[in-house]
Amino acid sequence: MSRRILITGGAGFVGSTMALGLAQRYPDWQITALDNLKRRGSELNLPHLKQAEIEFVHGDVRNKEDLDPSVLTPDLILECSAEPSVLAGYVSPGYLLQTNLVGTINCLELARQTQADFIFLSTSRVYPIAYLNKLQYSETETRFQLLEEQSLVGASSHGISEEFPLDKARSLYGTTKLASELLITEYGETFGLKTLINRCGVLTGPWQMGKVDQGVFALWMAFHYFQKNLKYIGYGGTGKQVRDFLHVEDLLDLIDLQIQKLDKFNGQTFNVGGGITNTLSLYETTQLCQEITGNQVEITPVPDNRIGDVPIFITDSRQVITATGWQPKRDARKTLTDIYEWICQREAQVRDIFA
C-alpha cells in the first residue's frame, strides 16, 4: 500500500536515516521531511534527501502554521524532531520545552485533522534519575556491570524494562518526552488515532553529528579520527560508565516493521535499545576507536559527575523483541566501523561539525 509519510526532524540523524531508508525500500511512498535545521550538520543531509526525491519542508514544529493540514496531508507522522540533549534542559529550557512539548502538540493536532497514524521517538530518559542512580552495579577492570539482584521493579541484569517506576524527576528533556507520551496516548484514545511510542536508549551510527552532551559514540570516534583530546567526565574519571547502543539501521528495521503492522502494535509503548549484548563503557569505546583508527588521543579524567548523568543505562528490549520478532543485528565493532567509514568518506564536510 502506498503511503504518505511526514517525518518531523527529517533532516536530523534519526529522521533523515528513516526518510532515506524508507524511500529506498518503498520507492512509491511519498515521504516529506520537515526540519528547521537547528541541529548543526542537519543541512548536510539536504542533498541526499533531494537525490532520493524526498520533499523537504523548512518548517518549525513550534509553529502550528508550519503544520497546516491544507498543505501537509500525511497518513503517517513519524515524530523525530527534538532538542535531544538532556543538558539543554539545564542551560536553556525554553527552546527544549517549546520544541519537545508544544512541537508534539502541534504534530498531534495535524494528526487529528488528517487522521494520520503517529509514531513517536521517545527516550529512556523518561525514567527518573534518582531511581537510575539506585541501580546496583559492580565494577570490573573496564566498566560498571548491573547486578542480577535489583531492588526496583523493572530492573535486572537485562537492564531497564517498561515496568521501571516513573514517579520522580527525570530532567526537563525526559519530562517533555513523558508529557508528550501522555498526550499521544490521549489523542489516540480521544480521536481514534493509531499511535506507537518507542522509548529509545542511545542511538548511533553514520551521520550522527555527535556532541559532548548528545551522540557520544559518534563524537568519540570522530575525535579519535581527527586526533582531538577527550575527557572522561564523572564517576571518578575512569570512563567506566556504560550505555547500550542501537545502530540507527537496526532502528530503521524496527520502524519499518512497526509501520507495516501498526494495527497490531497500536497504543503500545516499547523500550528500544541494543540491550545487554550491545553495551560499551567509554573506556571500552576508546579501545575500539584506537583499534579502528590506529590513533591514540589524550583523555583527561574529570572525576566530578555531570548534572543529570547516570553511571549505567541498559535498555531491556525483551518486550519489543517478543512482540515483533525484531532483533538488533549490528554489534559494537560494526557500529563504530560504520561511523569511521562515514567520517573517512566525508572528512572535509564533517571536520567543522566536530571542531
Ligand X SMILES: NC(=O)c1ccc[n+]([C@@H]2O[C@H](COP(=O)([O-])OP(=O)(O)OC[C@H]3O[C@@H](n4cnc5c(N)ncnc54)[C@H](O)[C@@H]3O)[C@@H](O)[C@H]2O)c1
Binding site for ligand X (CB under 6 A): 9, 11-15, 35-39, 42, 60-62, 80-84, 99, 103, 121, 123, 200, 202-203
| Phi, psi of 93, rounded to the nearest 5 degrees | -65, -25
Nearer to ligand X, 143 or 199 (CB): 199
Find the residue with minimal CB distance to ligand X: 12
User: What stretch of H or E contains 91?
Assistant: helix 86-91
Nearer to ligand X, 37 or 257 (CB): 37
Neighbours of 127 (CB within 10 A): 24
Q: CA 349, 103, 269, 110 torsion: positive or negative?
A: negative
In whole angstroms, the minimum distance from the beta carbon of 222 to ligand X comes to 14
Q: CB–CB of 203/243 below 8 Å? A: no
Joined together, the cell numbers standing for residue 121 give 521517538
Joined together, the cell numbers standing for residue 261 give 503492522
In whole angstroms, the minimum distance from the beta carbon of 82 to ligand X comes to 3
In whole angstroms, the minimum distance from the beta carbon of 279 to ligand X comes to 14
Nearer to ligand X, 143 or 247 (CB): 247
In whole angstroms, the minimum distance from the beta carbon of 211 to ligand X comes to 9
Nearer to ligand X, 27 or 178 (CB): 178
Nearer to ligand X, 97 or 155 (CB): 97
Nearer to ligand X, 52 or 237 (CB): 52
How far is residue 194's CA from residue 116's CA, in Å, rounded to a whole number? 8
Nearer to ligand X, 78 or 193 (CB): 78
| Unique residue bearing C-alpha cell 525514567 | 127
How far is residue 66's CA from residue 64's CA, in Å, rounded to a whole number? 5
In whole angstroms, the minimum distance from the beta carbon of 11 to ligand X comes to 5
How far is residue 297's CA from residue 220's CA, in Å, rounded to a whole number? 10
In whole angstroms, the minimum distance from the beta carbon of 203 to ligand X comes to 4
Joined together, the cell numbers standing for residue 242 give 556504560
Nearer to ligand X, 41 or 188 (CB): 41
Query: What residues pair up with 174 in beta bridges, in sequence order?
Result: none
Q: What distance, in Å, lies between the first and last C-alpha atoms of the chain?
A: 44
Burial class (CB in 10 A: 0-12, 13-18, 19+), 43: exposed
Side-chain-side CA neighbours of 19 within 13 Å: the count stands at 33
CA angle 83–161–248, rounded 5-degree value: 45
In whole angstroms, the minimum distance from the beta carbon of 92 to ligand X comes to 13
In whole angstroms, the minimum distance from the beta carbon of 123 to ligand X comes to 4
Nearer to ligand X, 183 or 237 (CB): 183
Joined together, the cell numbers standing for residue 98 give 517549546
In whole angstroms, the minimum distance from the beta carbon of 36 to ligand X comes to 4
Query: What residues pair up with 299 in beta bridges, in sequence order?
Result: 230
